[in-house]
A and B are shown apart, each in its own frame.
Chain A
């Protein structure tokens, strides 16, 4: 097994110590950081995403893999200065106003970052203006919104309305997800995609960003 395969496998296993060691080794061997990221880390994260989707592994496994990925990125950061990492696309993400639940949203962020997307995470209790302002400012490909409560879900509709008003609608795609959400509701409010989980968010983002 070459070092990148080994790195990918260690990431899948959520083994931070091994991922840290292998990333350091790969850098020492002179491998380009974007190769280490793409062929080692992102490759591993993709497998994690697929297995999670197939219910072969669960949230804790994904979180451990994400932690390992984060550790590797910290090592790679100094080597990435001045280099533009190839990004799969850019997404502004957050939990809607009035909703303080962010475990699901954080997971989607992790999966998107793992798949090579640039994620601008606005946190929880995010006002409609902030979603739209930030998307406008950063030229994001998409806005991703999460809600756990049936009572906060209608805030998504307001973000869609604001995106229409500002002329972003149709250009900046709108992805929605969260426990009470359904594809029908997403369609009803004019969102571009309903994402059942983090991996479907990745799939839909790939379509939208053409990556």
Chain B
């Protein structure tokens, strides 16, 4: 398989997958359960979800390892299972991906605030990311997707860990922004300009945003990132923000609605389009179709 980075640098647009967490909840994961515990208990579920995304046209499948750093797993008393949990997720994704679809290792925040804002020393966070990445790389991944970051220090620690453990793999890093009256900022106060500069300086190959917004805001974010970077960009939008109806979350953006705005993402220069919370294989199939139509050009 050609290198993922070479393909996007060659001008190709790649389609990533959609949500994992909301898909698992739809399949019976209980609130309070560790979403990564599925990797050991029901890996066939992961394979099933990944296979659905492959059928929908994903070029990239993310592993169910967003919260599988030992620091985060420790919340559930599962830190001692870090290696098995990460390895099982890669195996499941690979079964569905085969040799024609990339397997990207998802790495999310450690869930703790780093000193001086919180209680955890940066060295401990770095060690946690390294341990997770070693387990992922050992099983054979094609890229690292660092996701949903709000703190540039933590994002940089994750990027450093990926670079140290797997110097030759492409590393994507995305942050999650809130839309405030003063513009887009992460909860830790990082602006789009600061994110673009900081993620690039930390050594990411691909940068952008995931989660926290529906597609309309994501188009604005892509345009703002484009103004501050020459790196390839990735956008993984939620299917809108969850609205609660009869006690259940509903993500209101339809596959057609999201696909409609894909042209604007591509026009802004986005190289990888995928989905986050609330997106399904149907959303990805519509996005795939829109990307293939080449209409934005």
Contact = CB atoms under 8 A, between A and B. Distances in A.
Contacts of B182: 55
Interface string B195-226: 00000000000000000000000000000000
A97 interface: yes
Contacts of A97: 32
Interface in B228-256: 242-244, 247-249
Contacts of A67: 116
Interface residues of A, number: 29
Of B25, B30, B113, the most chain A CB neighbours within 10 A belong to: B113
A119 B235 CA distance: 40
Contacts of A149: 31
Nearest to B212: A179
B40 interface: no
Interface of A is mostly: loop
| Contact size range, B | 20 to 34
A57 B25 CA distance: 35
Contact of A151 (B25, B75, B113): B25
B113 A98 contact: no
Nearest to A67: B116
Contacts of B111: 100-101, 103
Interface in A143-175: 149-155, 157
Contact of B189 (A59, A125, A188): A59
Contacts of B244: 150, 153, 180, 182, 184-185, 188
A60 interface: yes
B293 interface: no
Contacts of B181: 55
B233 to A, nearest CB: 24
Contact of A154 (B187, B189, B247): B247
B249 A150 contact: yes
Given A98-B32, A151-B249, A55 B185 contact: yes
B116 A99 contact: no
A180 B117 contact: no
Nearest to A151: B31
A87 B191 CA distance: 37
Given A125-B32, A150-B242, A150-B249, A63 B117 contact: yes
B164 to A, nearest CB: 26
A64 B30 contact: no
B138 interface: no
Interface in A62-108: 63-64, 67, 97-101, 103
B32 A64 contact: no
A182 B111 CA distance: 24
A7 to B, nearest CB: 20
B2 interface: no
Nearest to B187: A59
Contacts of A57: 189
Contact of A58 (B188, B242, B248): B188
B189 A180 contact: no
Contact of B113 (A63, A101, A184): A63
A106 to B, nearest CB: 9
Nearest to B248: A150
A67 B116 CA distance: 9
A78 to B, nearest CB: 24
A60 B151 CA distance: 10
Interface string A22-65: 00000000000000000000000000000000010111110110
Given A55-B185, A59-B117, A64-B117, A99 B31 contact: yes
A100 B31 CA distance: 10
A60 B189 contact: yes
A64 B247 contact: no
B249 A180 contact: yes
A60 B248 CA distance: 33
18 contacts: A58-B185, A59-B117, A60-B117, A60-B188, A60-B189, A64-B116, A97-B32, A98-B31, A99-B31, A99-B32, A101-B111, A150-B244, A151-B30, A151-B249, A157-B247, A180-B249, A182-B243, A188-B244
Given A67-B116, A100-B76, A151-B30, 4 more contacts: A58-B188, A63-B113, A64-B117, A180-B249
